[in-house]
Structure 1
Amino acid sequence: MRQAAEPRSVADIRVFLVDRQEIVLRGLQVALAGESDIGIDGEAVNLLQAMARIRSDDPPDVVVIDPDLPDGRGLELCRTLRTRFADLRCVVLTSSTDPDRLADAMAAGASAYVVKDIVGIDLAAAIRTVAAGGNHYDPRVARELRAKIGRTAMLDQLSPRERQLFALLGEGLTNRQIAARLYLAEKTVRNSLTVLFAKLGVSGRVQAAALAVRIGAVEMPAPT
């Protein structure tokens, strides 16, 4: 006598998919189909559909969200879901490598930020990480964000005039050339550079110029 098939086990991690492109949704389903501990709990192609289909009495563990939905920002969906469901985690899936987008996603409560060139096995790993309470941010974008934060913090400590001096050093200008460019006396430039070097923590113009190039310092408009 043929034995009845065993009932399919419930996945440990229930994932809801939100993306404006149905072809992406199909690709995500295929990518996650072989993961025995991950199950697709539902899907939506826009914000309103997602809010209607995510059950308030039995929400999923993880929601994978496209940040650019046709009827609203996916990050607002993330923020709303995180407010309503304390244990729910959001994974932002995007084509953008802009570090500002990562910062926005983190502010919205996203536990992961992954770029759409990610392979299925790595996406599954990211989902497992956030389901367990961890974070996963694309390392390329995270590096750019750290660098930008560091650059901003460094430039913020400088006055408009000092930022001009810093940028001109990066261009390789001499004190005389800087004085001519800014209509200052050379002595004023020398004194200002001494203060600038102290703020930057460098020993002289060579280190300051190299630092300006490395962080991409830009010349500011002349102070009024």
Structure 2
Amino acid sequence: MSQPITDTPAKPITVLLVEDDALTRRTLCLGIEKEPAFKLLDALDSVKAALSWLLLQPVDVLLVDLGLPDGSGIDIIRFCAQRYPDCNIMVITTSSDQDSVVDSIEAGASGYILKDAGPIDIGRSLLELHTGGSPISPTIARKLLARMRDDKKENDTLPEQADRETGAQVFLTKREAAILDLIARGDSYGEVARELTLSVGTVQTHIKNIYDKLSVHSRGEAVYEANRRGLLQMDQLKSRR
């Protein structure tokens, strides 16, 4: 059994859970509620209920399944990311197909965990997400890297087509490029700050500028888009501390 998170923030981290399976929903609720760092605001079971809820109030962390009875959790992710750009979004699902992974990241998710990947310490995964990390099941990480490598090969063999598809060229400063490489590697904002001898606030400002330049709203989306535009090196993505 995991130990509760010791560094409890002064203000609880609010969480919204969207999961249609009653037993799984109850298990996840218990995992969230046992951690003093979190405050579970609600646990819903459909796309309609989640969108109606998000129309009325923001949340710090969204934990969402993809296969819901009235639609896809990706619609919730996209709506939440656009309405509340500061919200951190994590998928927890049984779907490991490549398209679902990529669609979720492009919609705004920064974490992706499979329900059948074994016991999940949901509290620590959500805290990692909230502090700038990207908790991703190993199976999903491999599929995502494979997809990115395939995209890179395709762009390398079709440079003119790639130029047309990527649109206007994006220029990053040296500092922005360094930060982008580190967050692609999976470093948290605190780790990036220590690595580059910066304050966390400065790192967050640079990341906001990166998001603006790439027209994205989340870490996962930024990594995917940056790789698509040739701004990342694949060995950086595969190198994790």
The alignment's TM-score, normalised by the length of structure 2, stands at: 0.55
Counterpart for residue 104 of structure 1: 103
How far apart in 2 are the matches of 1:152 and 1:89?
Answer: 26
Q: Determine what percentage of the aligned residue pairs are the same residue.
A: 27
Query: Does the 8 Å contact 1:11/1:36 carry over to 2?
Result: no
Gaps of 5+ in 1: 1-8, 160-224
How far apart in 1 are the matches of 2:98 and 2:154?
Answer: 18
How far apart in 1 are the matches of 2:82 and 2:22?
Answer: 27
The alignment's TM-score, normalised by the length of structure 1, stands at: 0.59
How far apart in 1 are the matches of 2:153 and 2:87?
Answer: 36
Query: Does the 8 Å contact 1:99/1:142 carry over to 2?
Result: no
Query: Does the 8 Å contact 1:14/1:39 carry over to 2?
Result: yes
Counterpart for residue 41 of structure 2: 41
Counterpart for residue 94 of structure 2: 95
**Residues 9-158 of structure 1: pairs in structure 2 closer than 5 A:** 12-54=12-54, 56=56, 58-117=57-116, 118-121=118-121, 123-151=122-150, 153-154=152-153
Which fold has the larger relative contact order, with Cα–Cα distance below 8 Å and residues 6 or more apart in sequence? Answer: 2
Gaps of 5+ in 2: 1-8, 159-241
Give the partner amino acid of 1:61: D
- SS of the residue 2:141 aligns to: helix
12 and 75 in structure 1: CA distance in 2 versus 1, 3 angstrom threshold? same
Query: Does the 8 Å contact 1:99/1:144 carry over to 2?
Result: yes
Give the partner amino acid of 2:103: D
Give the partner amino acid of 2:39: G
154 and 125 in structure 1: CA distance in 2 versus 1, 3 angstrom threshold? same
**Residues 120-199 of structure 1: pairs in structure 2 closer than 5 A:** 120-121=120-121, 123-151=122-150, 153-154=152-153
Give the partner amino acid of 2:124: A
CA deviation after TM superposition for structure 1 residue 113, in Å:
0.5
